[in-house]
Amino acid sequence: MQRILSVVLGLTVVAGFATGCATQRIKAEKAVARTLISDEQEEQLGAQVKQQLEQEEKIQYVQDAAVTQYVNSVATPILRAANKDRSGVKWQVFVINDPKTVNAFATPGGYLYVYTGLILAADNEAELAGVLAHEAGHVVGRHSARAMVNAYGLQALSELALGKNPGMAAQIAAQLAGTGAQLAHGRSEETEADEYGARYSTAAGYDPKGLITFFDKLRQQEGNTPGVLKWLSTHPTSADRISHLQQYISQNRLSGANVGADRIGPIKQRLKSP
């Protein structure tokens, strides 16, 4: 209880005296999110969101073991690297069977979802890895939890943390399953996820520029292929964002030799088969 109060007071001070400093605001949001929303609570929310998606959105998962094993083989080294920045996350990866939708998203608790349409849109494994690493970055950065702090306020989340408002968890899960799970993050959060994604791609041996080439390709297809709008609508790109990612990769000397066009090709053929 004392820790909760001290963090809340800390955020109040930051909000009152440093509203113009984005770095301080982000640090304060992370501190509050970490204190008020535990890893266990995030995992519970993620499980509730999954249930809502299955029951209300009627999503269907890929049943082909070769496809799911492949995606997990790409994700595993990425998530191993992510765990070094945020231990305690019990990652789960799901492949949604929807070839017309180019999308991927992450929900609290380390639940990662990728659509078959995104796998089909990737030219190589490094692009798929970049997307998965970016989504893992949202979880590591506690972006959903930080959004909850802003959306519901300190008092409501303090009550949730203390077990005084059990109905709020269900309310948050319902919102996340409806639109919140796929809402666009703020610019600073997208930038942070891009940086995490580049680092985790490199740690897994992939070319970190895979995310950049994927962004470029979707931007070129925007307007011609309706399905690509799904991921772009929640992850809007810009020349400045791509330039920042290129600069970040260069300054931190991030690189990886694995592009992986050979492995993803047969998987895409399986997904195209009737």
Any domain includes 119: yes
Domain of 94, in residue numbers: 29-272
Any domain includes 6: no
Any domain includes 3: no
Rounded to 5 degrees, what are φ and ψ at 204? -85, 0
Q: Are 116 and 122 in contact (CB under 8 A)?
A: no
Any domain includes 14: no
pLDDT digits (tens, 9 = 90+) for 70-100: 999 999 999 999 999 999 899 999 999 999 9
Rounded to 5 degrees, what are φ and ψ at 72? -65, -35
Q: CA 31 to CA 35: how far, in whole Å?
A: 6
Query: How far is the CA of 74 from the CAs of 63, 65, 129, 204, 206, in angstroms?
Result: 18, 14, 6, 8, 10
Longest dimension (CA), the chain: 60
Residue type present at position 17: F
Cβ within 8 Å of residue 130, ≥6 positions away: 197, 198, 201, 206, 208, 210, 211, 212, 214
Domain count, the chain: 1
Query: How far is the CA of 232 from the CAs of 12, 56, 91, 185, 242, in angstroms?
Result: 34, 23, 24, 12, 13
pLDDT digits (tens, 9 = 90+) for 164-180: 556 665 566 555 555 44
| CB contact burial 3-42 (16+ within 10 A = b; e otherwise) | ebeebbeebeebeeeeeeeeeebbebbbbbbebbbebebb
Any domain includes 16: no
Any domain includes 22: no
Any domain includes 13: no
Q: CA 117 to CA 161: how far, in whole Å?
A: 38
Q: Are strands 104-107 and 111-115 parallel, antiparallel or unpaired?
A: antiparallel
Any domain includes 92: yes
Q: Are 38 and 159 in contact (CB under 8 A)?
A: no
Print pLDDT tens along the chain (274 aa): 434 334 443 444 334 433 445 566 666 666 666 666 778 888 888 898 898 889 888 899 999 999 999 999 999 999 999 999 999 899 999 999 999 989 999 988 999 999 999 999 999 999 999 999 999 999 999 887 777 666 665 555 555 555 555 666 556 655 555 544 444 567 788 889 999 999 999 999 999 999 999 988 887 776 565 555 566 666 667 778 889 999 999 999 999 988 877 899 999 999 998 7
Q: CA 26 to CA 149: how far, in whole Å?
A: 11
- Give helix 187-203 / helix 125-140 axis angle, nearest 10°: 120
